[in-house]
Amino acid sequence: MYVYDDFDRTLVDERVNEFRDQVARRLSGELTEDEFKPLRLMNGVYLQLHAYMLRVAIPYGTLSSEQLRTLAHIARRYDRDYGHFTTRQNLQFNWIKLSDLPDVMADLAKAGLHGMQTSGNCVRNVTTDQWGGVAPDEIEDPRIWAEILRQHSTMHPEFTYLPRKFKIAITAAAHDRAAVRVHDIGLRLHKNGAGESGFEVVVGGGLGRTPFVGKTIKPFLPKRDLLSYVEAILRVYNQYGRRDNIYKARIKILVHEMGAEKFGAEVDAEWQNIKDGALAIDLAFIADIASRFRYPKYENLANEPPALTQVRSRNSRFDTWFRNSVTPHKQRGYAIVTLSLKPEGAPPGDATSEQMDAIASLADRYSFSEIRVAHEQNLVLPHVAQRDLPVLWEQLEKIGVATPNVGLVSDIIACPGLDYCSLANTRSIPVAQELTRRFKNLGTQRELGRLHINISGCINACGHHHVGHIGILGVEKNGQEFFQITLGGRADEKAELGCLLGPAVPYAEVADVIEDVVAAYVELRDQPNELFVDTVKRIGVEPFKERVYAAR
Amino acid sequence: MTAPSQQKLKVHGPVVVTGNRLSDGAVVYRGAIGWTARLSEASVVSNAQAAKDLLVLASKDDAAVGAYVAPVEINNGQIEPGNLRERIRLAGPTFDLPASFGI
């Protein structure tokens, strides 16, 4: 966990007082809606179909048990007893009253939480690998760099009114779990030939109505230059990014139209002016930030203790969950545990306040009081002793978060869709719910292997449909809900955008079509362990199209 | 998608003016004497000028925000939402809320 200092606490407390005053002036009529809207958006407050929605920032997806309890408290006291974890590692409350919001923010602030920069045309919550600091394949903890960027970008006066919102993601592992290539800036921490660590800088990735996989403009950036280089990128974007057309305002459009090479040259020119100035990072600063991350005092434990192996051998249900939801940890004798928020028939990513409280208590007992939020809308207990896994599993089962479907076909990413969102064209959650029912057989899911379905209820792509192995996009046709289906997308280090399967299908047929796509995959894969996305890569979408549409 | 409040006003049948209550965001409709939470109390108009007039009047009443014109249907004398979006706004999400999936 990162430990906030007095500066952070003062900043958050002052923002609460400021917002309380703004809300009071709005409710009294002193501020008009046009005056108030940008102020509420700066605090993560949207107006959705049924109510105000509050988006709470969870920097790099790391939560303490105290913070999770606070979120449960907010859900229970001010909302409808649940919260929704998002693809940006944040949490949204869907039923908040404006008149309650100052008190909500005051309660959040007591736990070091807030909604700043979760909306608006600024640098948003910096996201990273949900296994940061514990993944065996990382070269170092990427959250330290996410924190450095968070501090640099929070209320940065030059970047508070960018042409459009700006999202940064960081990975430090060989396998990209943070989807860095589809962010405005993606940072991949890696080692060069000399064994030094630095960043590959990718810009101009993004989804939405004009999706792009980002382009690498700097294969290796020394760590000391991270802030100055990111600042140079933001300056070039701030100067040249379009402000006349909201649909062409993201940096991806600028990079595409300017060309990555020219864009990179502009950034380099800007960077030369500032790289050796105040933003150059020295080792002492990095050490200071790193020192504020409190790492657990792990016990000296052996891998695969008898307490674990014996239960695995005699309890097949536990063993199934272990093989699906438990991942090796960089510390011997420990494990990373993913909690599925995707039980059959439930809205993806939602957790009740009772579940959040229970998970906080389990984190206290088994995970050094720490929880992570994954961009796939699941939660993670990052530091579990392997000997504790059987008893932890029993507790997780009781609260409904031990469905062994992580990374499988029913582990669906879905945006809130038309059931909540004022921008959506179609529903997405009910589509996800129906698909989890169609694929409820866990044996079948395991036989299918890793298969990501991502659903968005509109072209804004909050459900990341472009990079789903199977992507589902809701579109409106003559007042009816239709869905376009794409195949072959992926968000990892081999990021690709999916290819359109064929004509959009009506709401009532979506689940049937997806079942047919999956059946076609089983027929077309060249061996049982060829993943869906690899089959699509090998043969393209045409063989799927022939099979799926032939019957229609 | 362009939100209804940002779309060009087109009226092809009965419509009401709707918005969200300022204090809590609840869905409200413009009625004869102000904003109301009941669709049955909404003022229904059927041409663009009348809709525009109703919208202008509603927009001056700060008790609700984001006012826009929404289609309705009149069935057996009852006012009903004219599309899925408005049905969801009136009745809530089309699935059980998560508390019912809880522990």
The residue of chain A nearest to residue B99, with distances taken between CA atoms, is: A352
Q: Which residue blocks in A165-282 are alpha helix, DSSP H?
A: 226-240, 251-258, 260-274
Whether the per-residue pLDDT at A395 is higher than 70: the answer is: yes
Split at pLDDT 50, 70, 90, the class of A392 is very high
Q: What is the pLDDT of residues A212-260, one digit of tens each?
A: 999 999 999 999 999 999 999 999 999 999 999 999 999 999 999 999 9
Do A320 and A257 belong to one domain? no
The amino acid at A151: Q
Helix (H, G, I), strand (E, B) or coil at A312: helix
Report the number of distinct structural domains present in chain A.
4
Question: Does A447 reside within a domain?
Answer: yes
The amino acid at A92: Q
Do A539 and A447 belong to one domain? yes
Q: Are A431 and A418 in contact (CB under 8 A)?
A: no
Do B84 and A400 lie within an 8 Å CB cutoff?
Answer: no
- CA A277 remoteness from chain centre: 33
Q: How many CB atoms lie within 10 A of CB A390?
A: 17
Instruction: Compute the Cα dihedral for A62, A296, A330, A171 and give only its sign.
Output: positive
Longest CA pairwise span in chain B (Å): 53
In CATH, what number is assigned to the domain containing residue A543?
3.30.413.10
Region of residue A479 (phi > 0: left; psi between -120 and 50: alpha; otherwise: beta): left
What pLDDT is recorded for position B6? Answer: 61
Q: What is the pLDDT of residues A455-507, one digit of tens each?
A: 999 999 999 999 999 999 999 999 999 999 999 999 999 999 999 999 999 99
Do A452 and A537 belong to one domain? yes
Do B25 and A50 lie within an 8 Å CB cutoff?
Answer: yes
Could you give the C-alpha distances from A88 to A46, A178, A360, A396, in angstroms and in order? 16, 10, 21, 24
What pLDDT is recorded for position B10? Answer: 84
Q: CA-CA distance, A362 to A349, in Å (whole number)?
A: 19
Domain endpoint, select from A291, A317, A347: A291
Token output for A37? 């809207």
Q: How many CB atoms lie within 10 A of CB B32?
A: 8
Do A345 and B103 lie within an 8 Å CB cutoff?
Answer: no
- CA A463 remoteness from chain centre: 10
CA atoms within 13 A on the CB side of A109: 23
What residues are paired with A456 via a beta bridge? Answer: A473
Question: Does A125 reside within a domain?
Answer: no
Q: Are A96 and A78 in contact (CB under 8 A)?
A: yes
Mutate to test the interface with A, among B18, B22, B28, B68 (most CBs of A within 10 A): B22
Do A26 and B22 lie within an 8 Å CB cutoff?
Answer: yes
Do A418 and B103 lie within an 8 Å CB cutoff?
Answer: no
What pLDDT is recorded for position B103? Answer: 41
Do A34 and A92 belong to one domain? yes
| Beta pairing class for A470-477 and A453-456 | parallel
Quote the percentage of chain A above a pLDDT of 70: 100
Distance from CA of A98 to the nearest CA of B (A): 5
Distance from CA of A71 to the nearest CA of B (A): 15
Q: Which of residues 16-55 of B touch A (CB under 8 A)?
A: 20, 22-27
Distance from CA of B3 to the nearest CA of A (A): 6
Do A225 and A335 belong to one domain? no
**CB-based burial, A355-372: b 16+ in 10 Å, e otherwise:** bbbbbbbbbebbbbbbbb
Mean local confidence (pLDDT), A440-460: 97
Region of residue A504 (phi > 0: left; psi between -120 and 50: alpha; otherwise: beta): beta
The phi and psi torsions of B97 (rounded to 5 degrees) equal -70, 155
Do A156 and A93 belong to one domain? no
Whether the per-residue pLDDT at A70 is higher than 70: the answer is: yes
Token output for A416? 């809130």
Residue among B25, B97, B98 whose CB faces A51 most closely: B25
Q: Which of residues 57-86 of B touch A (CB under 8 A)?
A: 62, 65-66, 83-85
Domain endpoint, select from A66, A87, A110: A110
Token output for A316? 């097949």
Mean local confidence (pLDDT), A102-110: 97
The residue of chain A nearest to residue B59, with distances taken between CA atoms, is: A33
Q: Are B51 and B69 in contact (CB under 8 A)?
A: yes
Split at pLDDT 50, 70, 90, the class of A2 is confident
Residue among B23, B66, B103 whose CB faces A97 most closely: B23
Do A50 and B95 lie within an 8 Å CB cutoff?
Answer: no
A20 vs B101, more confident: A20
What pLDDT is recorded for position A1? Answer: 75
Token output for A184? 């405005």
Distance from CA of A418 to the nearest CA of B (A): 7
Q: CA-CA distance, A186 to A215, in Å (whole number)?
A: 9
Whether the per-residue pLDDT at A168 is higher than 60: the answer is: yes
Split at pLDDT 50, 70, 90, the class of A173 is very high
Do A429 and A538 belong to one domain? yes
What pLDDT is recorded for position A551? Answer: 74
Say how many CB pairs under 8 Å bridge A and B. 100
Do A155 and A178 belong to one domain? yes
Whether the per-residue pLDDT at B1 is higher than 70: the answer is: no
Do A47 and B66 lie within an 8 Å CB cutoff?
Answer: yes
Distance from CA of B65 to the nearest CA of A (A): 7
Token output for A89? 């590692």
What pLDDT is recorded for position B102? Answer: 47
The residue of chain B nearest to residue A422, with distances taken between CA atoms, is: B3
Q: CA-CA distance, B72 to B83, in Å (whole number)?
A: 7
Q: CA-CA distance, A216 to A203, in Å (whole number)?
A: 6
What residues are paired with A96 via a beta bridge? Answer: A52
Do A311 and A281 belong to one domain? no
Whether the per-residue pLDDT at A342 is higher than 90: the answer is: yes
Q: Are B44 and B89 in contact (CB under 8 A)?
A: no
Quote the percentage of chain A above a pLDDT of 90: 98
Q: CA-CA distance, B87 to B92, in Å (whole number)?
A: 8
Mean local confidence (pLDDT), A36-63: 96
Q: Which single residue is written with the structure tokens 């929070």?
A: A154
Split at pLDDT 50, 70, 90, the class of B3 is low
What residues are paired with B34 via a beta bridge? Answer: B31
Distance from CA of B26 to the nearest CA of A (A): 5
Question: Does A137 reside within a domain?
Answer: no
For residue A52, give the H/E element and its range.
strand A52-56
Q: CA-CA distance, B38 to A230, in Å (whole number)?
A: 51
Do A282 and A319 belong to one domain? no
Whether the per-residue pLDDT at A18 is higher than 90: the answer is: yes
In CATH, what number is assigned to the domain containing residue A14?
3.90.480.20
Q: Which of residues 401-430 of A touch B (CB under 8 A)?
A: 418-420, 422-425, 427, 429-430
Q: Which of residues 476-495 of A touch B (CB under 8 A)?
A: 476, 479, 481
Mutate to test the interface with A, among B1, B68, B86 (most CBs of A within 10 A): B1
Whether the per-residue pLDDT at B45 is higher than 60: the answer is: yes
Do A459 and B1 lie within an 8 Å CB cutoff?
Answer: yes
Do A283 and A205 belong to one domain? yes
Q: Are A333 and A386 in contact (CB under 8 A)?
A: yes
Q: CA-CA distance, A190 to A216, in Å (whole number)?
A: 14
Q: Are A458 and A474 in contact (CB under 8 A)?
A: yes
Mean local confidence (pLDDT), A143-161: 95
Could you give the C-alpha distances from B10 to A280, A471, B51, in angstroms and in order? 56, 33, 9
Residues of B in Cβ contact (< 8 Å) with A32 = 62
The residue of chain B nearest to residue A416, with distances taken between CA atoms, is: B93
Token output for A334? 């420990």
Interface membership of B7 toward A (CB under 8 Å): no
Q: Which residues form the domain of A361?
A: 306-398
Q: What is the pLDDT of residues A319-332, one digit of tens each?
A: 999 999 999 999 99
DSSP code of A341?
Answer: -
Q: What is the pLDDT of residues A256-279, one digit of tens each?
A: 999 999 999 999 999 999 999 999
What pLDDT is recorded for position A3? Answer: 81
10 Å CB burial of residue A3 (0-12, 13-18, 19+) is: exposed
Strand order in the sheet with B64-75: B34-36, B27-31, B15-21, B64-75, B78-81
Q: Are A500 and A484 in contact (CB under 8 A)?
A: yes
The residue of chain A nearest to residue B5, with distances taken between CA atoms, is: A422
Q: Which of residues 128-187 of A touch B (CB under 8 A)?
A: none
For residue A169, give the H/E element and its range.
strand A168-171
Q: In sequence order, what DSSP letters do the residues of A264-279 get, joined into one string? A: HHHHHHHHHHHTTSTT
Q: CA-CA distance, A108 to A85, in Å (whole number)?
A: 16
What residues are paired with A317 via a beta bridge? Answer: none
Question: Does A118 reside within a domain?
Answer: no
10 Å CB burial of residue A467 (0-12, 13-18, 19+) is: buried
For residue A96, give the H/E element and its range.
strand A91-96
Q: Are A129 and A180 in contact (CB under 8 A)?
A: no
Do A360 and A427 belong to one domain? no
CA angle, residues A11, A17, A22, in degrees to nearest 5: 120
Residues 6+ apart with CB under 8 A from A329: A134, A136, A335, A336, A382, A383, A384
Whether the per-residue pLDDT at B2 is higher than 70: the answer is: no
| Beta pairing class for A91-96 and A127-128 | unpaired
Q: Are A117 and A127 in contact (CB under 8 A)?
A: no
Helix (H, G, I), strand (E, B) or coil at A211: coil
What residue spans define the domains of chain B?
Answer: 12-94
Region of residue A236 (phi > 0: left; psi between -120 and 50: alpha; otherwise: beta): alpha
A480 vs B4, more confident: A480
